[in-house]
């Protein structure tokens, strides 16, 4: 019985520590720029283990007030058109993805911008049930504690946009030699077009497929209500 009580107390303490640290970190990142993410660390380790690659970590945090409004509009059009309306989960898209998976089809679009932000900032790339459970937990926390504008700001600053390139400012400087504040609609759309696989595709040298996605995103940007974030 003593060992059972000891295990119970240990689990209780670990749970309290986890809740305190996770909630504290979410509150901190509500106000403070995210310095580095687990994915950035993983990519640096991968680069260090590959003798043919040099270490590369290009990121430059910019507040949403220094980012072109076209960037937010483009990623919402491409990744999560219900971003302003949902509370972190797009249940309709999740149901479609579930049905598609049962039929052997891969349906894109179940992961919201909030979920993608959570995965980048707090978690690691994995498909396990533990990671999924943590993702759901952090998604609820972030939606409660952060504003939609803050979620978008963090997303645009930490998302992987190329090999060793993170965030819209680094992407704008690398691909178009201009700050994120000066991105055009077309440039924002082509950056958003490569997000499904940013290390494979280059916004500055778009393939026919990427040009097609860019055109589709531009049409969606026109059809959607203005997101209202950025300058």
DSSP per-residue string spanning 59-92: E----GGGS-HHHHHHHHHHH-TTTTTSSS--HH
pLDDT in the model for residue 106 = 55
pLDDT in the model for residue 3 = 82
**What are the residue ranges spanned by the domains of the chain?**
1-32, 33-50+57-223
Residue bearing tokens 């689990």: 11
pLDDT in the model for residue 101 = 60
Q: How many CB atoms are closer than 10 A to CB 210?
A: 19
By DSSP bridging, strand 165-166 and strand 58-59 are parallel
Beta bridge partners of 59: 166
pLDDT in the model for residue 6 = 81
pLDDT in the model for residue 37 = 97
Inter-residue contact 67 to 159 (CB < 8 Å) = no
Inter-residue contact 34 to 121 (CB < 8 Å) = yes
pLDDT in the model for residue 102 = 58
Indicate the pTM of the whole model: 0.92
Which CATH fold would you assign to the domain 33-50+57-223? Answer: Penicillin binding protein transpeptidase fold (1.10.3810)
pLDDT tens for each residue of the chain, 231 residues long: 778 888 878 888 888 998 999 999 999 999 999 999 999 999 999 998 888 888 899 999 999 999 999 999 999 999 999 999 999 988 887 777 666 665 565 555 579 999 999 999 999 888 889 999 999 999 999 999 999 999 999 999 999 999 999 999 999 999 999 999 999 999 999 999 999 999 999 999 999 999 999 999 999 999 999 999 999
């Amino acid at each position: 019985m003593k060992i059972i009580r000891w295990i119970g107390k240990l689990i209780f303490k670990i749970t309290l520590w986890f809740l305190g640290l996770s909630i504290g970190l979410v509150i901190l990142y509500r106000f403070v720029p995210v310095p580095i993410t687990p994915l950035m660390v993983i990519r640096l380790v991968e680069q260090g283990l590959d003798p043919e690659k040099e270490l590369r970590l290009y990121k430059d945090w910019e507040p949403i007030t220094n980012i072109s409004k076209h960037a937010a509009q483009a990623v919402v059009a491409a990744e999560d058109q219900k971003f302003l309306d949902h509370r972190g989960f797009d249940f309709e898209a999740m149901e479609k993805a579930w049905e598609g998976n049962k039929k052997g089809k891969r349906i894109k679009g179940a992961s919201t911008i909030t979920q993608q932000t959570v995965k980048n900032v707090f978690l690691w790339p994995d498909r396990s049930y533990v990671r999924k459970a943590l993702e759901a937990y952090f998604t609820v926390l972030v939606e409660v504690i952060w504003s939609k504008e803050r979620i978008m700001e963090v997303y645009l600053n930490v998302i992987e946009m190329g090999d060793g390139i993170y965030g819209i400012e680094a992407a704008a400087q690398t691909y178009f030699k201009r700050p994120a504040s000066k991105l055009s609609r077309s440039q924002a759309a082509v950056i958003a077009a490569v997000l499904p696989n940013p290390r494979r595709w280059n916004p500055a040298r778009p393939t026919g497929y990427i040009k097609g996605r860019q055109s589709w995103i531009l049409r969606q940007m026109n059809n959607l209500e203005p997101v209202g974030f950025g300058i």
